[in-house]
Structure 1
Amino acid sequence: MLGIAAAGATVPVSADQEGLLQRRLVDPGIVMPRTTPVPRFREPRLSATDAARQVQRRYGGRVLSVQEENNGGYRVKVLKDGEVRIYKIHP
């Protein structure tokens, strides 16, 4: 038999009561909220300039325009060997 200190006095507790107290104090079903948010990994955002540089490095030619797409990627128009080519860069 153990005791619980309450306001300076020790109150005797039976084994059954102690098990009940332990279950209440350490209940695996209770999830405590985190005080600090968990950082999430994010890919660095690709800029239009970065997309143009990437295409120019890979394929060469002269970049004519860069348009942002709905999915966060870019559509890059390049003039190479007298032809206009379109490349899509996805983040």
Structure 2
Amino acid sequence: MEGTVTASLFFIVFGGFLTFTAILNWRHRREEKINLLEAAILKVAGTEPLPLTRLDRILQTFHIIMASIFGPFLLFLGIAMMVDQLGIIP
């Protein structure tokens, strides 16, 4: 029983994170962004970041689609497991 509650909490947190990531990335999908580590390295090197290639755009879109599918699914699964364990719905 306790393992199921832990798993459901994990699914809720991870599903919520994926859903949040999908929404955030969907809103800003046309912006070119780099992470902080890459920005620091480029600043030290004194160079500009390379432009995104077509493959980069395809993989970014794939990431958004997968997060949009699995995020709500895992969130729903975690909530359903929690409701089942707590016995809210008989």
Tell me if both proteins adopt one fold, taking TM over 0.5 as the criterion: no
Q: Which has the larger radius of gyration?
A: 1
* TM value normalised by structure 1: 0.28
More helix by share: 2
More strand by share: 1
* TM value normalised by structure 2: 0.28
